[in-house]
Amino acid sequence: MRTDILTLLEEVDRDAAEQAYLRALSVSLKDLLTLWFSVGFLTLERVTWQSSCDMLQKVSDYEAVHPIRNWTDLKRRVGPYRRCFVFTHSSMPREPIVVLHTALTTEISNKILSIVAHPRMHSEADAFAAASSAGGEDPEKITTAVFYSITASQKGLQGIELGNYLIKRVVRELQAEFPKISKFSSLSPIPGFHKWLITEIIKDENDQSHSQLFTQEEMDKLAKILETITSELLPSLKKLLVTNKWIQDEALTRELETPLMRLCCRYLYIEKRRGYALDSVANFHLRNGAVMWRLNWKADLSPRGLGNSCGLMVNYRYFLDATEENSASYLENQTIHASEQILQLARQAVAKENKTRTTSNM
């Protein structure tokens, strides 16, 4: 019922009288579902290749972050050095409510291809390849868990925090299974960055003499590579970004790394909605107490990755002894805990904005 109401809310005009009634009903149902689907009523299950076919099919169908291509791909994602956990509820048997995919590695991954394309860990490859082919794992080698996909399957449970509880439960499961595991991190998409960037470029086109996005040196270098004049740079660059053709030009890709890393950090760390992170995925992990740890260049070069975030991904790291404190400071004071790499990029973004503001006022 709540799924239908949420769908109606998307279709009904915001000024229509029905909006208020539908919103009130949605809130009432959400409160009721929050009680019914509290963590105490949820069951944690690990999905393996031996799980039922309908469960495997649903895990494949519901995967929204990194789509599963075929059964071979699915087998890898539930096989050696991988874990797939789901929450189920007694009222919805054999139905995954939230799905979490995890890679077991020796280091925090900075590229999604190293996880979804290879069934083995990406260091000490020969030893792990042999273990994988034999269907086994070496617990002594596993020191890191990378959460690379979390998906809520039920639209009707939107707004009910289940993903954070799933991550916490999985952390405890992995600690019990692998005594040497000590590092927990996500490898997360940045779904709104590309759209935000294009919007900002459109704004910038109106006053290229005082660009909010690029330094004059960056604009001169980019104009030279694109063989255009500075005044025509932003329309040309926007077209390349929209079509993802920029990634095919090695010189252009190299020159865009510095400004795109800086701008992506601005989007993640500085841009806010009601005081909290603008990006929904960032907001989710920061609410859970994670640290914005590392921004990764050319981390997801799939069409989806380029279209969502220009190929960038970010690690949110969970320092278990600090998650409660970090979560409280974010929720109460909107404080984002970040690594030195993120803070350095943020300082560069702020310096660029301040310089532009100063130049505009002269």
Which residues participate in catalysis according to the annotation? Answer: 188, 285
Q: State the Cα–Cα distance between residues 75 and 41, nearest whole angstrom.
A: 29
Residues 6+ away with beta carbon under 8 Å from 92 = none
Q: State the Cα–Cα distance between residues 221 and 143, nearest whole angstrom.
A: 43
User: Which of these, 116, 108, 43, lies nearest to 78 by C-alpha position?
Assistant: 116
Residues 6+ away with beta carbon under 8 Å from 159 = 30
Sign of the Cα pseudo-torsion (103, 107, 108, 113, in order): negative
What is the identity of the amino acid at 114? S
